[in-house]
Structure 1
Amino acid sequence: MSHANVSDSSTRSPLFLLAIGALGIVFGDIGTSPLYTFNAVLQLAGDNTQPETVLGALSLLFWTLILITSVKYVMLAMRIDNNGEGGILALMSLLTGKEKQHRLIIFAGLFGAALVYGDGAVTPAISVLSALEGMELIIPGVSPYILPITIAILIAIFSVQHFGTARISKWFAPVMVVWFMSMAMLGVHGIILNPEVLKALNPWYSVHFLFSNGYASFVILGGVFLCVTGAEALYADMGHFGKRPVWLAWFGLVFPCLLLNYAGQAAFILANPHLTDNIFYRLAPSVLRGPLIVLATLATIIASQAIITGAFSMTRQAIQLGWLPRMRITQTAEDNYGQIYIGAVNWALMVATLALVLFFRSSAALASAYGIAVSLTMLMTTCLLFIAMRQIWNWGRVPCALVAGAFLVIDSSFVAANMAKLMNGGYIPLLLAAALCMLMIIWRRGTTQIVRNINEHPVSMTAFLQTIRESAVSRVPGTGIFLSKQPDITPAVMSWHVARNHALQKNLIVTTIEIAMVPRIASEERVRVQQVDESVYRVMARYGFMESPNIPQLLQGIELFAQVDFTDATWYIGHESVVGAPHNGLPAWQRKLFVFMKRNSSHVTDYYSLPHNQVIEIGRQVSI
């Protein structure tokens, strides 16, 4: 879920500084997984702390991080980007223009994106809960207060989103550097207790464990998977800093620190098999547990922040690509395009996150709901990567089948293992994802049907202007600006205006906004102006799916319109009232959902930053 602009800073700033900056945004989710992953593994193992179980689980953690995060995402997926942007929606947009199987690609992209939202609600809940649960080790009797404190912190996180994070984000990277270094030192401390755990680097321990413990090993895979739940976000967020800084940060700091910490936790379990709760905090000397809890809480707040702002960015992409209704998007920092706020998404995520905390009440219980959605997203990404290898890299079928097939087996195994959590709460993120995916499909179907019906009898601008001349329609002084969804025909709102008022301004500007399947459009490729007739112009502007159009600013920047008084111009937009179609329309329940979304969507005036006191809205009934 990329949430920032690939700005010129990626070329101006030193690689090392960009890599450090990435720690605070890109690696928050995966960087806090050691707080709860080994606890979840032991819970699924029935607190089995036999050496073969601990070493086998540790080996699985090592090789899952290597194969899924390092190989699949960092070394493979990040090489397939959409003009620098990653993530499943960006990948879907890249492939829809290159592959005939549009429906398969769109389904994989939409369902994968909806699944990210589903687990996005779980991440802040499980991260903050797991961080605060360490207080039980240093403050007797604090357990009843952990839940209220967690709720208070989560409410605070969501409540300050409208201020933006520009001022405090500069502290994200230093905090995360201290966090990763602390994890590494804790890991070394644990390894010293029992260096035998380093044997788990041998992949044989993973293979032997998987095939010698039957169903128990299979179930434990669901806990092991939690170590890579931030990998999909890592791919989506690479657009903020670029590939090389993310690679440097991952291999230079994050990956080694994670491996050391998991090894240290395994060593502690082997040395203390009777202690199987709060392993991360027990690894630290008692005198350091208090500061460590504070540091962990800060790290989980940063991870939650990254998830929330990532959801904002993904929502903007979906809106621009036409899969969600318009929402009010507030830019919270003028110098950083990625700093945005979407109130509807923020409060919906807050409600979902708080509901999960109140329902599950502990990180151990939340782990049962965590992972299913992300594992399915990774499976969808693998399917899209196979298509990308074929269509973009032009690999042959055999190499594609071998590489994608290997990851397909791994991803499918994790999906199947996580399905064991389904009835223990895993259905919740799936239901959230299914509901969101359904809404996106209904919105697309409804808007497509409206456009088709409005333009059922298209008329070219040349023919329309000729009809006006022949009908002696009055041409009054002034400038009329009409928004049009189709660049080649007369806007329906213009036809309605003439039919009702029998007059039209002398100066006409017909503006069409096209959203391209790339993140951003270069300024020199942004706009094209065509003169249709005397004082009649057609403006065709292109924006990327990571950009928000500002039409007045666009038109005022066109040299040809330097003499136009935009403060005296009139903007015309259409308003469609939806009614049921007698035949071949949307089912009634879908139409009602569509009307509800349309009624509550952001007004086109706000979305395109049109001047409110210069807009005329013309209504019409449309059957769908």
Structure 2
Amino acid sequence: MSSLEVEKNSPPVGAEAAAAAASRLKRHDSLFGDAEKVSGAKYHGSEVSWVRTLHLAFQSVGIIYGDIGTSPLYVYSSTFPNGIKDRDDLLGVLSLIIYTLIIIPMLKYVFIVLYANDNGDGGTFALYSLISRYAKIRMIPNQQAEDAMVSNYSIEAPSSQLRRAQWLKHKLENSRAAKIVLFTLTILGTSMVMGDGTLTPAISVLSAVSGIREKAPSLTQTQIVLISVAILFMLFSVQRFGTDKVGYTFAPIISVWFLLIAGIGLYNLVVHEIGILRAFNPMYIVSYFRRNGKQGWVSLGGVILCVTGTEGMFADLGHFNIRAVQISFNCILFPSVALCYIGQAAYLRKFPENVGDTFYRSIPAPMFWPTFVVAIMAAIIASQAMLSGAFAILSKALSLGCLPRVRVIHTSKEYEGQVYIPEVNFLMGLASIVVTIAFRTTTSIGNAYGICVVTTFMITTHLMTVVMLLIWKKHIVFILLFYVVFGFTEAVYLTSILSKFVDGGYLPFCFALVLMTLMATWHYVHVKRYWYELEHVVPTGELTALLEKNDVRRIPGVGLLYTELVQGIPPLFPRLVKKIPSVHSVFIFMSIKHLPIPRVAAAERFLFRQVGSRDHRMFRCVARYGYSDTLEDPKEFAAFLSDGLKMFIQEESAFALSDAPPPPPPPENDDRRPTTNSAVHSEEAMIQSSSMAASSFQSIQLPVDVEQEKQLIDREVERGVVYLMGEANVTAGPKSSIMKKIAVNYIYTFLRKNLTEGHRALSIPKDQLLKVGITYEI
């Protein structure tokens, strides 16, 4: 890659000044191969002090444990929907709960999965993005070598990979089926998380509200449902304000909740039967299955609800760090929740008839109302955390091109993952209310809820196996052990839940099927449209002939033509100059590109390249964003774009000056700039070249025409920026299959016409927007 920057561990005396001067000449134009590195950048998950880690651990209690922390409200009632037939069954179920908590959340997630984070970010989508950096598995071929130079990219050189990893990389990149499978797993995981975000409010709020019947037995189930619906309506209505408005009042409330459930559990253990601690012996699990057979296997669908929300530890990792989550889980969550389940089991050994409402029946009378109030608040917080996570995951999935560009509102200046999507919030709120009214009880909702949870677990297990093979390159024995232990455990739970398919288990499958159909259809057309544009691209060398043929006039202002392509001239441009033979004085082909990383530093955001001759004043710009980055507002975007363009023009002139005289001997096929990886350049020659370039830049004024060009850009920006976008109508070809015609002509068209338009997602003012109609036949 071409660069004038000298990279030395210990430069000789006198070289520091040359290196410092050369660093000022680093290219911002990564399209030529010199992406700017941000020195000293610290990313999430880096070393932090223990004081800061403990502070984060306390904060994480309120953000990521609301769901798993409120599971004691409904686990036993869901496990024994027909009552307890044998009191010894409580020992087996309690043993199952304890070891499920140990195996899945603790061993799998806390001590293994958390380390597969993507520069600090977690979740199913982060795993897919991590894999896509090591193997080209995305359907759209817009990967560039320059992107891997972004300081947040973090990828190993292919030569350092082991033979097995290289073999897997080759198979993934050359197998369309493998790409489709990985993509399908990702959107299935996204669909299940969306289902989780819909069902969590329903089951948590309904479980918490049901407790009021202990003090008001005259209330009917219908009245309980209506109260729950009212709370759900309020919950979804305030989403637009964001969790940041509530702030870290979450952590104290959930901390109080954990203290309460731990204290109540300890009370029940001591008062009713301390011998329940025998459940730590896993042999009681064997006895339970021998005694109950198929019914015991079916009851696993209720046991698995004790780990709902586990995926949140991984998905919300971006707000904290690994050590903080490990501390909060092992020191706060696990002891509190385990004590609560142990206490409930001790209570049920004496009062098995109260299994339908175990949690509230086991509360000591003086503690009922404080616990009830905190339970309602904890249920709302659990719902809020899952909704925030669902919004964040869906906003990341948008960068895959799985859905139309919708407006993502970032509700927190401090936490990038806290977002709000109005259209999605409305649909999820409506679905949650409908589920509450239709199912009415937590048992029926739990059957659907468990499928979402376990399916997400299994997807994470499969993607983690790929990460271990391709990226971590662990020993095959360790990988097999991980896959067999956790895959088998989750498969057993999934088969149990599937037995309740007709009793509510069908709901998440229907939900996921609809959402996956929409996402897969949009992505399919998106990829086909990209390839169509790529096949009909106009070579850059034909730009002059194109402008002369249509007698194009230059008009005041700056024009930005949005295109998915990062090379060549999009087919939309010839149509534009043919219909309206005029182009703005400064014209930029703008591409918004999402990289498979969480964030891109602001200094590395814009990449420029000259298009055609310098007299045309036409440029290509690629604006790169990570999947957690926010798009700037129009004024800020235009200001950054203008500054970047002027810097690009100035650096082009500086590099031109630094070429006289060129450093001897010049390499073949040299693009006017020396290359750091050329063997013919000695270290002394590089230092001398850098020193000469720096002194030239300091002693020689920039050409007058460069200053004039920069002033011209300022004038044209003041005259106005016009955004040009293609209004693409995509149709299936006449010889297409019926399925393709339905997908393209109906489903895709419906989404395009009814969801938020691209200019609103990009915050483009309507009075600065010009749409150009074009039809693609695929």
Quickly say closer, same or farther: Cα 1:436–1:498, change in 2 above 3 A.
same
Q: Does 1:594 align with 2:748?
A: yes
Query: How many angstroms does 1:142 deviate by?
Result: 2.2
Name the counterpart of 1:179: 257
Name the counterpart of 2:618: 536
Q: Deviations over 1:264-310 (max 9, x none)?
A: 00000112223222111121111211221111000000001111111
Name the counterpart of 1:114: 191
Name the counterpart of 1:556: 639
Name the counterpart of 1:59: 95
More displaced 10-residue stretch of structure 1: 20-29 or 605-614:
605-614
Query: How many angstroms does 1:66 deviate by?
Result: 0.2
Name the counterpart of 1:256: 335
Letter in 2 for 1:39: S
Question: C-alpha separation between the residues in 2 aligned to 1:207 and 1:79?
Answer: 33
- Mapping of residues 406-445 of structure 1, within 5 Å: 406-445=485-524
From 695, 704, 717, give the equivalent of 1:566: 717
More displaced 10-residue stretch of structure 1: 192-201 or 210-219:
210-219
Q: Does 1:194 align with 2:263?
A: no
Name the counterpart of 2:729: 577
Query: How many angstroms does 1:232 deviate by?
Result: 1.5
Name the counterpart of 2:557: 478
Question: C-alpha separation between the residues in 2 aligned to 1:369 and 1:457?
Answer: 47
8 Å Cα contact 1:328-1:602 kept in structure 2: yes
Q: Deviations over 1:196-247 (max 9, x none)?
A: 1111112222233234431122111111100011111221111111211111
8 Å Cα contact 1:118-1:430 kept in structure 2: no
- Mapping of residues 392-407 of structure 1, within 5 Å: 392-407=471-486
Local SS of the residue matching 2:125: helix
Name the counterpart of 1:126: 203
Query: How many angstroms does 1:481 deviate by?
Result: 1.5
Name the counterpart of 1:210: 289
Name the counterpart of 2:126: 90
Name the counterpart of 2:29: none
Name the counterpart of 1:30: 68
Name the counterpart of 2:586: 507
Question: C-alpha separation between the residues in 2 aligned to 1:207 and 1:178?
Answer: 36
8 Å Cα contact 2:195-2:508 kept in structure 1: yes
Question: C-alpha separation between the residues in 1 aligned to 2:115 and 2:44?
Answer: 19
8 Å Cα contact 1:64-1:228 kept in structure 2: yes
Question: C-alpha separation between the residues in 2 aligned to 1:201 and 1:360?
Answer: 35
Name the counterpart of 1:496: 575
Query: How many angstroms does 1:262 deviate by?
Result: 0.3
8 Å Cα contact 2:538-2:571 kept in structure 1: no
Question: C-alpha separation between the residues in 2 aligned to 1:179 and 1:458?
Answer: 60
Query: How many angstroms does 1:397 deviate by?
Result: 2.9
Query: How many angstroms does 1:60 deviate by?
Result: 0.2
Matched positions, count: 617
Query: How many angstroms does 1:40 deviate by?
Result: 1.1
Quickly say closer, same or farther: Cα 1:419–1:82, change in 2 above 3 A.
same
**Unaligned runs of at least 5 residues, structure 1:** 1-5
Query: How many angstroms does 1:334 deviate by?
Result: 3.7
Calculate the TM-score normalised by the size of structure 1: 0.95
8 Å Cα contact 2:190-2:394 kept in structure 1: no
8 Å Cα contact 1:23-1:249 kept in structure 2: yes
8 Å Cα contact 1:56-1:200 kept in structure 2: yes
Letter in 1 for 2:307: V
Name the counterpart of 1:620: 774
From 606, 611, 619, give the equivalent of 2:765: 611
Question: C-alpha separation between the residues in 1 aligned to 2:553 and 2:536?
Answer: 24
More displaced 10-residue stretch of structure 1: 588-597 or 567-576:
567-576
Query: How many angstroms does 1:74 deviate by?
Result: 1.2
Quickly say closer, same or farther: Cα 1:9–1:287, change in 2 above 3 A.
farther
Question: C-alpha separation between the residues in 1 aligned to 2:390 and 2:311?
Answer: 13
8 Å Cα contact 2:56-2:320 kept in structure 1: yes
- Mapping of residues 73-472 of structure 1, within 5 Å: 73-97=109-133, 98=135, 99=169, 100=172, 101-144=178-221, 145-192=223-270, 193-469=272-548, 472=551
Question: C-alpha separation between the residues in 1 aligned to 2:47 and 2:191?
Answer: 29
Question: C-alpha separation between the residues in 2 aligned to 1:14 and 1:413?
Answer: 40
More displaced 10-residue stretch of structure 1: 529-538 or 402-411:
529-538
From 627, 645, 666, give the equivalent of 1:545: 627
Q: Deviations over 1:485-513 (max 9, x none)?
A: 11111133322111112222232112111
Identity among equivalent positions (%) equals 32
8 Å Cα contact 1:493-1:572 kept in structure 2: no
Question: C-alpha separation between the residues in 1 aligned to 2:466 and 2:86?
Answer: 43
Local SS of the residue matching 1:370: helix
Structural RMSD (CA)? 2.0
Query: How many angstroms does 1:176 deviate by?
Result: 0.2
Quickly say closer, same or farther: Cα 1:288–1:9, change in 2 above 3 A.
farther
Local SS of the residue matching 1:47: coil
Calculate the TM-score normalised by the size of structure 2: 0.76
Query: How many angstroms does 1:9 deviate by?
Result: 12
Letter in 2 for 1:566: V
Q: Deviations over 1:152-211 (max 9, x none)?
A: 000000011112222213211110000011010011011102111111112222233234
Which has the higher Rg, Structure 1 or Structure 2?
A: 2
Question: C-alpha separation between the residues in 2 aligned to 1:212 and 1:276?
Answer: 19
Quickly say closer, same or farther: Cα 1:181–1:518, change in 2 above 3 A.
same
More displaced 10-residue stretch of structure 1: 497-506 or 174-183:
497-506
Question: C-alpha separation between the residues in 2 aligned to 1:404 and 1:336?
Answer: 33
**Unaligned runs of at least 5 residues, structure 2:** 1-42, 136-168, 173-177, 647-709
Name the counterpart of 1:3: none
8 Å Cα contact 2:319-2:415 kept in structure 1: no
Local SS of the residue matching 1:488: coil
Question: C-alpha separation between the residues in 1 aligned to 2:400 and 2:513?
Answer: 19
